[in-house]
Structure 1
Amino acid sequence: MNGAVNLPLDESELSFTASGNSLVRRSILPSGVRILTESVPGSRSATVGYWVAVGSRDELPANYGSTHFLEHLLFKGTATRTALDIAVSFDSVGGEHNAMTAKEYTCYYAKVQDRDVPMAVDVLTDMLTSSLLDPDEFETERGVILEELAMADDDPADVAGERFFEAVLGDHPLGRPIGGSPDTILSATRDAVIAHYRLNYRPQDLVITVAGAIDHDALVRRVTAALEGAGWDLERPGTPVDRRSGSGAEIVRGSALRTVSRPIEQANIMLGVPGIVATDDRRSHLSVLNSILGGGMSSRLFQEVRERRGLAYSVYSFGSSYSDAGLFGLYAGCSPAKSAQVAELMHAEFHRLANGGVSDDEVRRAVGQLSGASALALEDSDTRMSRLGKSEITMGEFVDLDETLRRLARVTPDHVRSLAADLVARPLSIAAVGTVDESAFASIV
């Protein structure tokens, strides 16, 4: 493979060889169901993912939290399997199964030995197509989700992250919490969740990705049989749902500063700005920028805040990119008495990157770090399965390891400085949780 491979929605069959001699294939069934596989030489296991391109951002005010609620409910039983049956199916073969609700998609997945892939396909298909959404289980799971939200609310870093997204992205749907809030979960109705299920879990919405020890043709046959057995009409013509627009949305900052008072030992501080969209050509530049600023123990933030001054144990930078918006942030956990100093140091390092630029040596180290991390991550079939799903749902192209390394190798100090200058010119927001006072950040915001 030489360069990225486009994934047009009107091409029913694709096949190409990626780095490491893995074979990538895609089939689009007449109904619009998309099936992608990456067969990896020497693998003895595979990760299976069932994706639906609907996430928390797609919810209406009347059903906030429905996507996450539904993810829980699909594990609670079908007409032919109880919740225990589903769990036993994977536990009895040493497999793993779980799900994730994100802001722009939901994925149900399992990792099993190669011989157990047919079982994984059958169980995941049954869950996704034939969940009972039982009224009693609905109420039971409401309690489970409330406990999950309470657990997250006990984690000050999680709270800071939620407030940070709200501050940076404002009223954009990406600024909302993925799991909803206790109020929205308490007010959720089974009818609203069922309506959400019927609207978004259809053949044209479904993307199935499998990576590892897999035979594509055998998988397509198994998926087809399982979906038809569940009552889906796969011969009825349909086209895959369009991908989201990659045009950047207009972001109006929610607030410059949000603080949450908590009687805890550390202040959890996040500061940052709107970032770049997932399909931005500068995403490799952002990866290098993030590595230099706060992506490891040799990064500027780690060296300045932790190593030289001893002001924090955890300090780093991060980026999140979505179809039409993004966010770039810096995080530190420190003594409340040091929160003003730490925030000012992070802010200064961010600006120094834009105004002073970076050296060739810093770029070289960052590219080396990212290249190695990319290669190591692909030793895991979970990563490969996820790459297939995001390529199909969000990116519209498949980028293998060789192309990733080529793109990283082309990044220059000028690329990093230019992107940093673009980012620091955007509206800054700060979120802080702990025994902190808003006046500590007055010099920054």
Structure 2
Amino acid sequence: MQKSGTTRTLATVRDGEGAITSRVRRTVLPSGLRVVTEQMAGARSATIGVWVDVGSRDETASLHGASHFLEHLLFKGTHERSALDISVALDEVGGEFNAFTAKEYTCFHARVLDEDLPLAVDVLGDMVTSSLIAADDVEAEREVILDEIAMHDDDPDDVVHNLFAEQAWGATSPLGRSIAGTEESITALDRGRIQRFYRRHYQPHRMVVAVAGNLDHAAVVRHVRKAFGRRDWLAGESEPTGPRHVSKKIRVHPGSVETTRPFEQVNVVLGMEGLARGDERRFALGALNTALGGGTSSRLFQEVRERRGLAYSVYSFTSQHAGSGLVGVSVGCLPNRLDDVLDTVRLELSRVAAHGITEEELSRGKGQLRGGLVLGLEDSASRMIRLGKAELVHDDLLQIDDVLDRIEAVTLDEVRDVAADVFSRPEILAVVGPSS
């Protein structure tokens, strides 16, 4: 008899009259596969995401692009379904399904009517556990991916952000390499290496099935057991893989890099080393980032676009990973405005590093973060993403009220301290545009 696994309730939210509006439950199967669900009162849809603890930073140089290549191939057919069968199964019930690859994880997801959730679980379970990785599909999809790489190479924003990461972490570092791979690396990948990568990384203890919407947790677990139990995939016993950790901080390389493309604009990313994912100062940095370049009232938008008219688009960003992180400002401008743009951005960063931000800017930044968080969790897809990331990446599901409290607790002194630290670090600059 198969062991049942362990189940516990992570959170229960009630309205003012005591009725349950949301309940989060988690089951760990003996194989190590985790099933995390959020029951949403009043929802008529459900979203499932299968999260795999593998991304581009797990690739060697000879496997560059394998995670993204594999993401494509899992849609191409299984022992039970052809590629067309997979597409038809969800299309005929009006479902939406797709996948994405990041530096530290891969996610396959589907959004359906609540009554069609068992079908979505079955299709994704079949794809993830029983893909054929057929030789003909590898060759056909290779051309599709090369097309995708060429498309990204025509997008100035993609080019400059990839160049910025490459300068920051190094062209030979897994974090510094592009997620999709290069023309050379994709051309060199063969079926055998991709299949071995699939078997090595797509294991139950490295996966999370996250589901949100109108659902019953016990029923979801039963459907997952059936769908993922094909070909004895759940037969072994293992402990789940914990959050990704690195033994030491990953070095960031300051400096500048420039490449020529036949674009009308110059695209620039100016930044520096930021905070790693687990840094407790991340809430202060989030408020700072929003106030600095997170909207039309932000300091950078007002100074660069509204007052000086130097660029149409300007924003700041943060990226946080295990062992490292980056902060930066992204701008697109006419070539003859580049020097003025860089001078203005550097001046604002130096001012923030020296003096922090104002009470009014902090209040606006907090408001933006709070509103973005709550409004972004109005549908089952957003809730699923929150569940999946919390379980796979953070191993800690902060309740929404807890996150709001953490945001509200950020002080001006905390923001000033993190600004003085981060924005005084050595500069990283990436520039992409037409030849001068």
2:223 maps to what in 1? 222
Kept after mapping to 2: 8 A contact 1:272/1:428:
yes
Q: Cα offset for 1:11?
A: 7.0
Deviations along 1:183-242, one digit per CA (max 9) or x if unpaired, are 1000011111001000011111121000111110000011111222342244x3211123
1:139 maps to what in 2? 139
AA paired with 1:366? G
Q: Cα offset for 1:263?
A: 2.6
Kept after mapping to 1: 8 A contact 2:129/2:230:
no
Kept after mapping to 1: 8 A contact 2:121/2:223:
yes
2:256 maps to what in 1? 257
2:193 maps to what in 1? 192
1:308 maps to what in 2? 307
Kept after mapping to 2: 8 A contact 1:246/1:277:
no
AA paired with 1:381? S
| Distance in 1 (alpha carbons) for counterparts of 2:366 and 2:266 | 32
Pairwise CA RMSD? 1.5
Q: Which one is further off, 14-23 or 202-211? A: 14-23
1:43 maps onto 2:43 in alignment: yes
Deviations along 1:141-187, one digit per CA (max 9) or x if unpaired, are 00000000000000011100000001112254211100111110000
Change in CA separation of 1:19 and 1:266 when aligned onto 2, cut-off 3 Å:
farther
Kept after mapping to 1: 8 A contact 2:252/2:273:
no
SS of 2:271's equivalent?
A: strand
| Distance in 1 (alpha carbons) for counterparts of 2:299 and 2:27 | 45
Change in CA separation of 1:248 and 1:274 when aligned onto 2, cut-off 3 Å:
farther
Q: Cα offset for 1:246?
A: 6.1
1:7 maps to what in 2? none
2:359 maps to what in 1? 360
Sequence identity, in percent?
A: 48
AA paired with 2:144? V
1:71 maps onto 2:71 in alignment: yes
1:414 maps to what in 2? 413
1:150 maps to what in 2? 150
Q: Which runs of 5+ in 2 are unaligned?
A: 16-20
Deviations along 1:70-110, one digit per CA (max 9) or x if unpaired, are 00000001111111111111111111000010000001000
Q: How is 1:224-243 mapped onto 2 (pairs within 5 angstroms)?
A: 224-234=225-235, 236-243=236-243
1:371 maps to what in 2? 370
Q: Cα offset for 1:62?
A: 1.8
2:390 maps to what in 1? 391
Q: Cα offset for 1:401?
A: 1.6
SS of 1:77's equivalent?
A: coil
Kept after mapping to 2: 8 A contact 1:269/1:433:
yes
| Distance in 2 (alpha carbons) for counterparts of 1:45 and 1:263 | 45
AA paired with 1:130? S
1:106 maps to what in 2? 106
1:442 maps to what in 2? none
AA paired with 2:276? V
Q: Cα offset for 1:276?
A: 0.8
Deviations along 1:357-395, one digit per CA (max 9) or x if unpaired, are 211111111111111111100002111111111111111
| Distance in 1 (alpha carbons) for counterparts of 2:206 and 2:270 | 36
Kept after mapping to 2: 8 A contact 1:292/1:363:
yes
| Distance in 2 (alpha carbons) for counterparts of 1:18 and 1:396 | 20
Q: Cα offset for 1:16?
A: 2.0
Deviations along 1:270-299, one digit per CA (max 9) or x if unpaired, are 010111111211111111001111000000
Kept after mapping to 2: 8 A contact 1:248/1:277:
no
Kept after mapping to 2: 8 A contact 1:315/1:333:
yes
| Distance in 2 (alpha carbons) for counterparts of 1:296 and 1:436 | 31
Change in CA separation of 1:391 and 1:162 when aligned onto 2, cut-off 3 Å:
same
Kept after mapping to 2: 8 A contact 1:19/1:402:
no
2:338 maps to what in 1? 339
| Distance in 2 (alpha carbons) for counterparts of 1:258 and 1:432 | 6
AA paired with 2:10? S
SS of 1:25's equivalent?
A: strand
Kept after mapping to 2: 8 A contact 1:262/1:434:
yes
Counterpart among 3, 6, 10 of residue 15 in structure 1: 10
2:169 maps to what in 1? 169
1:213 maps onto 2:208 in alignment: no
Deviations along 1:230-278, one digit per CA (max 9) or x if unpaired, are 42244x321112321166523140x511111123211000010111111
Q: How is 1:261-280 mapped onto 2 (pairs within 5 angstroms)?
A: 261-280=260-279
1:3 maps to what in 2? none
Kept after mapping to 1: 8 A contact 2:60/2:174:
no
Aligned length: 426
| Distance in 1 (alpha carbons) for counterparts of 2:246 and 2:66 | 25
Q: Cα offset for 1:350?
A: 1.2
AA paired with 1:215? D
AA paired with 2:179? I
| Distance in 2 (alpha carbons) for counterparts of 1:251 and 1:370 | 29
Kept after mapping to 2: 8 A contact 1:291/1:299:
yes
| Distance in 2 (alpha carbons) for counterparts of 1:349 and 1:422 | 15
2:94 maps to what in 1? 94
| Distance in 1 (alpha carbons) for counterparts of 2:282 and 2:379 | 23
SS of 2:116's equivalent?
A: helix
Q: Cα offset for 1:333?
A: 0.4
What TM-score do the two structures reach when normalised by structure 1? 0.93
Change in CA separation of 1:369 and 1:119 when aligned onto 2, cut-off 3 Å:
same
| Distance in 2 (alpha carbons) for counterparts of 1:360 and 1:131 | 54
2:400 maps to what in 1? 401
Kept after mapping to 2: 8 A contact 1:247/1:323:
no
2:121 maps to what in 1? 121
Change in CA separation of 1:58 and 1:246 when aligned onto 2, cut-off 3 Å:
closer
1:204 maps onto 2:205 in alignment: yes
Kept after mapping to 2: 8 A contact 1:267/1:436:
no
SS of 1:398's equivalent?
A: coil
